[in-house]
Chains A and B, each alone.
Chain A
Amino acid sequence: MDTKSIHSEKNKKNENTENKAQPVIAVCLGTGGIAAGGDKVFKKFEDEIKRLSMDAAIGKRVCKTAKTGCRGLCARDVLVDVSIPGTKPLTYEKVTVDMVPQIIEEHIVKNTPVEKWLAKEDYHKFYDSQQRHVLANSGIIDPENIDEYIARGGYVALKKVLETMTQQDVIQEIKKSGLRGRGGGGFPTGEKWASGARYSADEKFIVCNADEGDPGAFMDRSLMEGDPHAVMEGMIIGGYAIAATSGYIYVRAEYPLAVKRLHWAIKQAKEHGFMGKNILNSNYSLDIHIKEGAGAFVCGESTALQYSIEGKRGMPRTRPPQSVEAGLWDKPTVLNNVETFANVPIVINRGADWYSKIGTEKSKGTKIFSLTGRIKNPGLIEVPMGATIRQIVFDMGGGIPRKKKFKAVQIGGPSGGCLPESLLDSPIDYESLLGLGAMMGSGSFVVVDETTCMVDMARFFMNFCAGESCGKCPPCRIGTTLMLDILTRITQGLGEESDLELLEQMSDEIKTMSLCGLGQSAPNPVKSTLRYFKDEYIAHIRDKTCPTATCVALHRYEVVSEKCTKCQACIRNCPVKAISGSTKEVAFINKEKCIKCNLCYEKCNFMAIK
């Protein structure tokens, strides 16, 4: 297909979507949406519309149902947008199958929205304080339909690149934009492409790292599920810039929906001439293949990922040679993260000058974070680099639920660190985070409140790293296991004062001696909690208490009478009736009957049980 016909098709599509007579019901069908019953709600809308269209009175109004990808605010799923032509689109939250007939009856037929089910004010605040560029299409378009991507300006950047720009132009533009790798390290993308372009070989590869392994991160999954073509477009542009002969997307096996949508997107892109031989009638050809991972965190490391694509054990190797020189099958390979590629069409379309105005001096553009943990509005957010932790937690996240107090935020997953309340006003960019002992990582942003034990948190991450260490180099393999032993001992009340010094020392040793990024950054969660929450370690070791009563081995199960509000939630939930008390009397736990199941602690809203 030539470019003209693409554009005429695009216009046709525009007319279609702007068809004034057509109300559109868009149902969120990301993983969160489906888990909340989104596909059932979608089906119910379809069924109801079919049923009603037989009725002559309503039949005049043709109604369209649409699937969309992740909206970001998964806690409010199922989210449904209803747009009646001529009026502002309205969003319903927490929609269930039972609500469908009434929404159709009142909103679509009579044009009076069902006020009580509409998204509340904080839903709008969640979106209004963001700057959604990379996520602009997610949750708006149907990710399984390439026409909707094209209608919103999709593949225009690719066309511009192929028709008007040389390889060097593209690299220069990306360099000028200041775009840096979104996968964690923050290496300048333009530099990487420039060194990739320098090597010539019979085969060259462009690889998309979609092995989003950081626990607590799901922005790459949402992008692939919500806007797969944007990732692909960025990848093809990157391929052109470095003269890649083929491309691979390495996706985690845990993301079946993303894999399905990517396959679908590749098929459609080929049919439209955006991929394959002589893309848009240019001399450039590129095919993209999908490789599914098989469950190994270390495969997010670039050399390990390449071995995994080759069908081997995913164990990192020493560098040099760098991947740009000898990567996949020993050929020059450029590897970027999903979010990085999704930024590329934006840079090309709007220009490096526009792009580099967003963000801070050294960190340009926006960053997507997955905001989770103890937070009112968990979800996916996109903010300019340099936004503060406070803005994210309180303005977008809505603060901490159940009247609990903010304690820390864990940024960057197992490679990152925990930042305390005193750093709420710190800006988030690559350099600031490193300085504070955390790391951008892929962008997981887990909020913890006063009920979370920081020693246990450190133990959790060390357990993760010890389990995921590939075993190749001893500092990581043995070091993480020994550190885990110490941390476990501390959480069981068996810690000694000398352990703290030992932990510090081992952290530095593992960091300096490990082969790859996994080992080098594995001690970060321990180091940052030692730096900001040392008193909690000391409480575990010296006083044998866990201040948050998380570490079950240290629980005493006593009621703090000043905090008890006599609500009796603990009494109602105790499975062995070990708690007595009344509306007039504070609760009392009979230690002989208590089986230490921890339910009373979990049910108490006032931290009155320790």
Chain B
Amino acid sequence: MEVIDTSKVEKVLEKYKDTRGALIPILQAAQVGYGYLPEPIIDFIAERLKISTNEIIGVATFYAQFHLKPRGQHIIKVCCGTACHVKNAKSLSVKVHEKLKINVNETSKDKLFTFEEVSCLGACGIAPVVVIDEDVHGELSPDKLGGILDKYKKPAV
């Protein structure tokens, strides 16, 4: 098995050691540290919290936020809430697929992009919305989105 540095998750476990029901915040913090939830880390958390790996996998697969596979450098989230749906968010998903040649929940070969369709982001006033990393882009058309994606395509120096 690959060796993974557990120091990041050690700190997290220390922080939450007296908190009740801390599994979800622990997984969230671990995911921030590693970008996803690697298997050895899940085993490690299970051992420390004295619960079964099964239970953690159960929780991690229940919630949309957790990822068991590595993800790309940029995360593209196309909002699929009602307001965005009515304003043709589907055409934005089609655009992402055309431009980056990846399907929903896939990561591009160069590990630059991960493409996700997510439930309502609550920015309905500016629908349709796409969030790339932390930046909210509103009132989009497929053409506008294409231009925005081009900017991210340049590899970060």
* Cβ B21 vs Cβ A294 within 8 A: no
Instruction: Give 1 or 0 for each of A450-486: 1 = CB within 8 Å of chain B CB.
Output: 0010000100110010001010000000000000000
Residue of B nearest to A308 (CB): B24
* Cβ B63 vs Cβ A602 within 8 A: no
Question: Which B residues lie within 8 Å of A372 (CB)?
Answer: 82-83, 86, 124-125, 127
State A31–B24 Cα separation when bound (angstroms). 25
Q: Which of B22, B23, B65, B86 has the most CB of A within 10 A?
A: B86
* Cβ B125 vs Cβ A75 within 8 A: yes
Q: Identify A217's interface contact among B85, B91, B120, B138, CB under 8 A.
A: B120
* Cβ B124 vs Cβ A31 within 8 A: no
* Cβ B21 vs Cβ A373 within 8 A: no
Q: Is residue A507 contacting chain B, with contact meaning CB distance below 8 A?
A: no
Q: Is residue A370 contacting chain B, with contact meaning CB distance below 8 A?
A: yes
Chain A 126-179 residues near chain B, CB threshold 8 A: none
One of A1-9, A249-257, A529-537 contacting the partner: A249-257
Residue of B nearest to A309 (CB): B21
Closest chain-A Cβ to B57's Cβ sits at a distance in Å of 11
Instruction: Give 1 or 0 for each of A357-374: 1 = CB within 8 Å of chain B CB.
Output: 000000000000010111
Q: Is residue A329 contacting chain B, with contact meaning CB distance below 8 A?
A: yes
State A410–B136 Cα separation when bound (angstroms). 25
Question: Which B residues lie within 8 Å of A31 (CB)?
Answer: 122-123, 136
Question: Which A residues lie within 8 Å of B127 (CB)?
Answer: 372-373, 378
Q: Identify A294's interface contact among B64, B85, B124, B136, CB under 8 A.
A: B64
* Cβ A373 vs Cβ B83 within 8 A: yes
* Cβ A34 vs Cβ B125 within 8 A: no
* Cβ B23 vs Cβ A215 within 8 A: no
Question: Which B residues lie within 8 Å of A461 (CB)?
Answer: 82
Closest chain-A Cβ to B111's Cβ sits at a distance in Å of 23
* Cβ B65 vs Cβ A255 within 8 A: no
Instruction: Give 1 or 0 for each of B21-49: 1 = CB within 8 Å of chain A CB.
Output: 11111011000000000000000000000
Q: Is residue A301 contacting chain B, with contact meaning CB distance below 8 A?
A: no
* Cβ B21 vs Cβ A460 within 8 A: no
* Cβ A295 vs Cβ B124 within 8 A: no
Question: Which B residues lie within 8 Å of A429 (CB)?
Answer: none
Closest chain-B Cβ to A413's Cβ sits at a distance in Å of 7
* Cβ B82 vs Cβ A215 within 8 A: yes
Question: Which A residues lie within 8 Å of B80 (CB)?
Answer: 215, 464
State A308–B24 Cα separation when bound (angstroms). 8
Q: Is residue B50 contacting chain A, with contact meaning CB distance below 8 A?
A: no
B contacts with A, residue count (CB < 8 A)? 41
Question: Which B residues lie within 8 Å of A373 (CB)?
Answer: 82-83, 86-87, 124, 127
State A67–B152 Cα separation when bound (angstroms). 29
Question: Which B residues lie within 8 Å of A448 (CB)?
Answer: 86
State A106–B123 Cα separation when bound (angstroms). 33
State A373–B87 Cα separation when bound (angstroms). 7
State A380–B122 Cα separation when bound (angstroms). 11
Residue of B nearest to A598 (CB): B91
* Cβ A294 vs Cβ B66 within 8 A: yes
State A297–B62 Cα separation when bound (angstroms). 11
Q: Is residue A81 contacting chain B, with contact meaning CB distance below 8 A?
A: no
* Cβ B123 vs Cβ A35 within 8 A: yes
* Cβ B122 vs Cβ A410 within 8 A: no
* Cβ B138 vs Cβ A36 within 8 A: yes
Closest chain-B Cβ to A476's Cβ sits at a distance in Å of 15
State A374–B118 Cα separation when bound (angstroms). 21
Question: Which A residues lie within 8 Å of B81 (CB)?
Answer: 215-216
Chain A 268-316 residues near chain B, CB threshold 8 A: 291-297, 308-315
Instruction: Give 1 or 0 for each of B48-63: 1 = CB within 8 Å of chain A CB.
Output: 0000000000110011
Q: Is residue B14 contacting chain A, with contact meaning CB distance below 8 A?
A: no
Instruction: Give 1 or 0 for each of B108-139: 1 = CB within 8 Å of chain A CB.
Output: 00000000001111111111010000111111
Chain A 316-373 residues near chain B, CB threshold 8 A: 329, 370, 372-373
* Cβ A311 vs Cβ B59 within 8 A: yes
- CB within 8 Å of B: which residues of A? 31-32, 34-36, 72-75, 77, 212-218, 221, 252-256, 291-297, 308-315, 329, 370, 372-374, 378-380, 410, 413, 444, 446, 448, 452, 457, 460-461, 464, 468, 470, 598, 602
Of the A-B pairs whose beta carbons lie under 8 Å apart in the complex, a sample of 22, sorted by A's number, is: A31-B123, A35-B123, A35-B126, A35-B137, A77-B126, A215-B85, A216-B82, A218-B123, A218-B124, A291-B21, A292-B25, A293-B65, A294-B27, A295-B63, A295-B64, A308-B24, A372-B124, A448-B86, A464-B80, A468-B119, A598-B91, A602-B88
- CB within 8 Å of A: which residues of B? 20-25, 27-28, 58-59, 62-66, 80-83, 85-88, 91, 118-127, 129, 134-139
Known: A35-B137, A215-B82, A448-B86. 17 other contacts (CB 8 A): A31-B123, A34-B136, A36-B138, A73-B125, A75-B125, A212-B122, A213-B120, A216-B82, A292-B24, A294-B66, A297-B119, A309-B21, A370-B124, A378-B126, A378-B127, A444-B124, A464-B119
